[in-house]
A and B are shown apart, each in its own frame.
Chain A
């Protein structure tokens, strides 16, 4: 049952699925992360010979719908199956879908323009325009599961995935849904997106022959982020219903904070004020204090500016304790999948809490004096993580921070195995 009256509805993660450059099976993905395996390779989706940056984190395979929609649906199928939700859904009007993407069916948008220019508009496919717009990943997931509840597509650049999972948890907390299929997806690896970001000097250009070393967050030789793609989906539900149906609970989604830097379209505010207030608001929403935080999944893009400002923000908020909190960057292995990254990193936080392991930040070879925290360099680490926060900061000054915690944090009597897990049926 629900916690005593007066307490708010608690929201937990009971199923997860990922589609990433290092694995599209949750277990394989997690093992690859712990092993520190990079998913960055030379680009195969087009000939990148004449581009300054020729590497990316590509997902092997895909077709039919826009690439972003395919990956969203595949991740959602994996998550719903992992959650062991029966199909057809028992109460579809209470099942919501929140799926974010920074841009959406970009491949279809480009293809549409190319066909229009080359062959004339009579050759344009009726599904071109709808496939291209950002809400189609959510639609395909909704239609596949017949989820008739609330429905939302949030688009906040690189903060999208984090903000979407957070807003999805609020939909349950405020009684607008019992279950939310929530996630993020992105597929933007194109010649001109890479060309464009290269001209902004946002991408690494010295690692075309060592792709797996290109994404090196917090390292002194970091040059920029590596373009990536992928999707992740989390099944969120009420704690009481997850316990009642004996679901495995990975973690609780405890709080969300969002803000705008209102400072610069592409660069972070060097004072780190935006990142600081966002983390603080997220902890406040979770009714936790900075001292409760055991692990930070950093935005950690491997750009000189982000990693320095994020480090500063962590130091300002956590004070001396900042040096004792393990901070790792999932993007060191996956690259930056824009609107999908936050959702992937929410999955990582849930697994970190569930498994008691922190994955490394790989390619951490040359310490940068301004980035002097514990980034879990190159080796995974055992740790009892009760509270994890996940940062995402995006173009257009978007900031989002998600707080996840062990679902049994305040329950000492039942279901507490002392290892951060609440076992099936014990609620």
Chain B
């Protein structure tokens, strides 16, 4: 089945979006910052950074969950859950969806995250237990640990009783969640899906873990905004970040019936696993290649139709190279003509949530005809020689965008989005 021959009840469109990122507490602010190449990186404030080799992160700025959530709710929710709920509120508002007119049994929630809050909440719990040498946690502490809680809180807040799931495929999680959410609609298991991702990974254990893996940038503590430099020869690794993005999906039929113009269409998606290494990507990018090929096949389009690639591009030496190779093997000679950018160059790496932010970015790119830059691209790497839209935004007509997400444990996911033609 191809994108163009699917009946309208099988065509899944995005009709609303919300985002909270290190460069903006809404999607509009985020998009504005991304176009102007503004980085969200800075010295870590959530913990004392001085003992660490990496002292920088892309933290949220001026984000006050207390403005949106009751103090009792804040206590029940991990940061990931708070972000998901608030971004979902934004997305629902943006979609003009009147949930009172929907059958709530047919509205589902499917979010992605790498571990949800479980790493930071485990850290908090163990730290408390070690300090107090006790073994009692409050029920709220135990419940905040579970990775499925962001999906629960979104469902609870809006009494959404339909399909509900959380996909945890590391850094590919929310790209995969969005692809699966579209499938849930296509197979008729829901009318509307609230999907996306959430993550907050600025914590001591996450820093310790990624530093042990040598995955973080450590030479830019005095110059945080230059640390994320995807495809640049001096790239060293990523910096941790926090954020969430939520998309509202429904069938084209359903959107038309309620008179809503879609933002973009989800044509298809593909997933694969490198089956290679827990941490390192397959240097040939063969798993990434498979994911992109499967995404194109499920979309019913050829590689020639792709106008723009939002790369995974986490600024790691191996990852950016493997992705460049994978793009070349899928797109051949044409890869040099396709603009490719890295949203992470500005927002850092929020693991499971980044894919959702990038899907929102692809949608904005399609809608506004502007490709945001990859910032900090200064020293060309001879092996990374594609068009990374260096440092300056660019006008372009984008009909079809492809978004890559690759993660720890060899996870690969790729989503294809397109403009919805008006008839």
Contacts and interface: CB of A to CB of B under 8 A. Distances in A.
Interface of A: 50-51, 92-93, 97, 102-104, 106, 109-110, 112-114, 116-117, 121, 124-136, 138-139, 142-143, 145-157, 163, 167, 170, 174, 191-193, 195-197, 199-200, 258-266, 273-274, 277, 281, 285, 394-399
19 contacts: A50-B135, A103-B147, A113-B205, A121-B52, A124-B211, A126-B209, A129-B208, A130-B209, A132-B119, A136-B278, A154-B168, A156-B166, A196-B136, A196-B139, A200-B139, A261-B161, A274-B161, A395-B146, A396-B152
B130 A133 contact: no
B51 to A, nearest CB: 8
Interface in B302-326: none
Contacts of B51: 121
B137 A130 contact: no
B118 A153 contact: no
Interface in B122-144: 122-123, 125-127, 129-130, 135-139, 141-143
A114 B125 CA distance: 11
A125 B212 CA distance: 6
B278 A127 contact: yes
Given A148-B272, A192-B135, A199-B136, A260 B160 contact: yes
B143 A265 contact: yes
A395 to B, nearest CB: 6
A129 B210 contact: yes
A116 B205 contact: yes
A263 B152 CA distance: 9
Smallest CB-CB A-B distances: 3 pairs: A129-B209, A396-B152, A196-B142
B213 A126 contact: yes
B207 A121 contact: yes
A399 to B, nearest CB: 8
B118 to A, nearest CB: 6
Interface in B203-239: 204-214
B247 interface: no
A51 B135 CA distance: 8
Interface string B45-84: 0000001100000000000000000000000100000000
Given A142-B273, A148-B275, A396 B411 contact: no
A377 to B, nearest CB: 32
Contacts of A157: 146, 148
B208 A116 contact: yes
A151 B169 contact: yes
Given A135-B408, A174-B187, A397-B156, A258 B209 contact: no
Given A109-B119, A113-B126, A124 B209 contact: yes
A113 B136 CA distance: 17
A192 B408 contact: no
B392 interface: no
B159 interface: yes
A398 B150 CA distance: 12
B contact residues, range: 35 or more
B209 to A, nearest CB: 3
A266 B143 contact: yes
B409 A133 contact: yes
Contacts, number: 260
Nearest to B149: A396
A172 to B, nearest CB: 13
B336 interface: no
A130 B168 CA distance: 12
A132 B115 contact: yes
Given A192-B135, A396-B151, A143 B279 contact: no
B141 A134 contact: no
A239 B327 CA distance: 36
A149 B272 contact: yes
A396 B150 CA distance: 9
A13 B155 CA distance: 33
Nearest to A149: B272
B114 interface: yes
Nearest to A147: B275
Nearest to B128: A192
Nearest to B151: A396
B411 A109 contact: no
A191 B142 CA distance: 12
Interface string B156-182: 101111111111111000001000100
B347 interface: no
A112 B205 contact: yes
Given A127-B278, A130-B278, A143-B273, 9 more contacts: A126-B212, A130-B408, A133-B170, A154-B165, A167-B165, A199-B142, A261-B161, A265-B143, A266-B143
A151 B288 CA distance: 13
Contacts of B180: 152
B82 to A, nearest CB: 14
B183 interface: yes
B408 A262 contact: no
A167 B272 CA distance: 16
Contacts of B116: 155
Contacts of A191: 135
A150 B145 CA distance: 27
A146 B162 CA distance: 35
Contacts of A136: 278, 409
B273 A109 contact: no
Nearest to A115: B208
A265 B206 contact: no
A363 B310 CA distance: 57
Most chain B beta carbons < 10 A, residue from A113, A114, A266: A113
Most chain B beta carbons < 10 A, residue from A163, A285, A396, A399: A396
B168 A134 contact: yes
Interface string B92-122: 0000000000001100110000111011001
Nearest to A102: B146
Given A129-B213, A133-B170, A192-B135, A396 B122 contact: no
Given A133-B170, A195-B135, A260 B162 contact: yes
A142 B148 contact: no
A258 B212 contact: no
B135 to A, nearest CB: 4
Contacts of B273: 97, 138-139, 142-143, 147-148, 151
Interface in B345-380: none
B19 interface: no
Interface in B256-275: 271-273, 275
B118 A151 contact: no
B281 interface: no
A150 B167 contact: no
Nearest to A164: B165
B208 A193 contact: no
A152 B278 contact: no
Most chain B beta carbons < 10 A, residue from A153, A266, A398: A153
